[in-house]
Structure 1
Amino acid sequence: MHTLLILLIGLAMISFTTIEATDPDILSDFIVPENLTSIDGKSFTFTRMRKVFEGNPESFQVTKAGVKEFPALEGQSVSFAVLQYPPAGINPTHTHPRSAELLFLVYGCLQVGFVDSKNVLYTQNLTMGDMFVFPKGLVHFQYNPHNNSPAIALSAFGSANAGTVSVPATLFATGIDDEVHQIVQD
């Protein structure tokens, strides 16, 4: 009897953890942002992507449309980004803890890859029109291998707040003592 009770409690805890790991379901068509007193079509329009057409950046540039930038996404379980890679540009290793990423290459070429939980590296060379999926929470990267041509990609996420965790910043800019890094490497 105690074993069954412990099993049921364990299953309940797993379900609550799973539920909290995704965007919450909403009980209305949409959520009105707190700072708005009236809603119209402009409330559902995001215009900051216009800047991606203003020329080629000199370093990797990401323009996000997540719930932080576009409050109408609250409760909608979607977000979007435009990724601009200059020649030889790179989007360094990172993860998205709350969503997979579906990348669509609009222009140019990219080398992409991710590492799974068994430490296996999966890579692919993409050309214009190709899509690639980065599974949720796995470390991944994108690199433009061409020294004379930019690349542009669109990324879609299954969360209004996919989150981005930079691996280099997490490892080297958090103040973790070098001794801890050495112990982990040994």
Structure 2
Amino acid sequence: MLPTERLLLRPFQLTDTLFIQELLNTPGWLRYIGDRGVYTEQDAHWYLKDRIIPNYEKFGFGFYCCELRSSGTPIGMCGVVQRPYLNDPDIGFAFLPAFTGQGYALESARAMLAHATEVWKIPTVLAFTTLDNERSIQLLQKIGLQIVGPFSTPDNDEKLLLMSNQAGAGHSPTPQPQGT
């Protein structure tokens, strides 16, 4: 668990199914992250079981549920994940619409980046976002990430913006497949 001033970041559990179903179907998620095919409670259960929770054991980190410390209400997610097509983990975040614009994403991302570099000893943390997601770009810059350049994921040719906390360290704007 990772406490901040107003939030508690904790690993997701299968009991978070309804929250995940709600979050993954918000307009912001669908626009900036994409449709993950999570439409029902059962879909959300399998998404947690197959895609979110296994990362904790496999890598020692992953996406965390962001709860209000005052009430325990889940309001978003933030975490660091290792994708098969990137050499370094990337940070990501998403919040329910009622909780955007209040500094929760910044608070959680700042704490998660510090935890990733200081506790998990991950020296390079990447991020990527759509080119038109100005709010995320600004937030990532506030926590110390710099623009590396445009890139696309292997499964989608949409142009994205790659950022890094080590932008001057020679990272290629094109992701390098692992194991090749």
Q: TM-score normalised by the shorter chain: which range applies?
A: under 0.3
Normalised TM-score (structure 2)? 0.25
Q: Which has the higher contact order (CA 8 A, sep 6+)?
A: 1
Which has the larger helix fraction? 2
